[in-house]
Amino acid sequence: MKISIINGPNLNLLGQREPGIYGSQTFETFFAELQSKFPEVELDYFQSNIEGELIDQLHKVGFSSDGIILNAAAYTHTSVGLGDAIKAIDTSVIEVHISNTFAREDFRHTSYITPNAKGLILGFGMDSYRLAIESFIK
């Protein structure tokens, strides 16, 4: 099984960015943990701060991966293009967020991803990604 993780803007700074909200672990360290926890899964990881590159990556993996885990970060709340890209591809997308966006500012309560996603997992810290993998495996 092949699962692709796609992270959006500012998530390259995990570990140093607002640790009270996002924790103190880098995504690279966490990704290595995921790889050892799920040796049977072929995991790949892509991060970009650029909206069009995230869309290109969805197109790239969206016809070959068995599942996509997308944390579109701030673009979640603004990007019609990312929502349309999810509709355009074959592979199911699970939307994840590290924080509970519904417990934060009102503008974070809107998502252009959720209506097009298979499901939504949020508020469990980095563990949101693990839960999404478990869900694809089941």
Q: Using CB under 6 A as the criterion, which residues of the chain lie in contact with ligand DQA when the complex forms? A: 10, 71, 73-74, 76, 97-99, 101, 108
Residue 46 near residue 112 (C-beta atoms within 8 A): no
Task: Report d(CA 67, CA 84) in Å as an integer.
Answer: 17
- Rounded to 5 degrees, what are φ and ψ at 81? -60, -40
Q: In the bound complex, what is the minimum distance in angstroms from residue 13's beta carbon to ligand DQA?
A: 9
d(CA 75, CA 57): 15
Residue whose CB is less far from ligand DQA, 89 or 126: 126
Task: Supply 68's token pair.
Answer: 């996509």
How far apart CA 99 and CA 36 sit, in angstroms, is 24
Catalytic residue among 59, 75, 97, 109: 97
Min separation Cβ 51 and ligand DQA, Å: 13
Judged by beta carbon, residue 2 or residue 108, the one nearer ligand DQA is 108
59 given a catalytic annotation: no
Respond yes or no: is residue 109 known to be catalytic. Answer: no
The catalytic residues are 22, 97
